[in-house]
Amino acid sequence: DAGVTQSPTHLIKTRGQHVTLRCSPISGHKSVSWYQQVLGQGPQFIFQYYEKEERGRGNFPDRFSARQFPNYSSELNVNALLLGDSALYLCASSWSDTQYFGPGTRLTVL
Amino acid sequence: GIQVEQSPPDLILQEGANSTLRCNFSDSVNNLQWFHQNPWGQLINLFYIPSGTKQNGRLSATTVATERYSLLYISSSQTTDSGVYFCAPPEWGNTPLVFGKGTRLSVIA
């Protein structure tokens, strides 16, 4: 079975722009979570979705939004990009108690 | 929310050496995962270990939930073990995971 996939792999944007990141979970997994990892830190929780409903939100501004589609894939949207949004964005799908992470999207904001 | 502290923050080993990484957490948990983040950023699942001890090849992990800590043992380390090791208990229920700052391991040939 394929693991969690994310696209794009890398992305360069300028301040003020908008970005959409995509994630496809492992087949059969209905829950998707998004994390942001800045350099030198551990990942920090942004959103969790289960069966297309938001189940949790971390301490991030309203510029961050997400949604989950009927096929359980998910999008993370970030508006009005700031330099501080430069990070590795990780998507995880979960089955029972275990989360499995994708390879991430590395976002650079100039 | 739950706090996670990992030690040591950095560790340099000669190939073949053994090591123990520690994870302390501030609240009781009902599960905990260990991950290895490789130099390309991929988080690789090592263990799901809410309590007790598990072994997988050269790696083993022990969680003592009542004392709020978990240990990751790496034996006969190899250069491919290099990277950052994270432990991550959940904030509530089973998700989201809360990560510490990790232990950065460098194994030198």
Write out pLDDT tens, residues B8-63: 999 999 999 999 999 999 988 888 999 999 988 999 999 999 999 999 999 999 99
Q: Which CATH architecture has domain B4-108?
A: Sandwich (2.60)
- Dihedral of alpha carbons A33, B102, B21, A3, sign: positive
Percent of chain A with pLDDT over 90: 89
Nearest to B96 among A48, A88, A101 (CB): A48
Is the per-residue pLDDT at B94 higher than 80? Answer: no
B31 compared with A7, residue with greater pLDDT? A7
Q: A54 φ, ψ to 5°?
A: -70, 125
What is the reported pLDDT for A44?
96
pLDDT > 70? residue A17:
yes
Contacts B41 to A, Cβ<8 Å: 37, 88, 103-104, 106
Residue A59 per-residue DSSP state: S
Q: To probe the interface with B, which of A41, A99, A108 has the most B CB atoms within 10 Å?
A: A99
For B6, name the nearest residue in chain A, comparing CA atoms only.
Answer: A42
Measured between its terminal Cα atoms, the distance across chain A in Å is: 37
Cβ-based contacts of A34 with chain B (< 8 Å): none
Would you tell me which residues 18-57 of chain A have a C-beta closer than 8 angstroms to some C-beta of chain B?
Answer: 31, 33, 35, 37, 40-45, 48, 55-56
Does the distance separating the beta carbons of B48 and A33 come in below 8 Å? no
Q: Which amino acid type is present at position A70?
A: P
Least confident of A34-38, A49-53, A75-79, B70-74: A49-53
Mean pLDDT of A52-68: 95
Q: Looking at residues A64-78, what average pLDDT do you find?
A: 97
Decide if pLDDT at B104 tops 90: yes
pLDDT tens sequence across A76-103:
999 999 999 999 999 999 877 789 999 9
Are residues B97 and A45 in contact, defined by beta-carbon separation less than 8 angstroms? yes
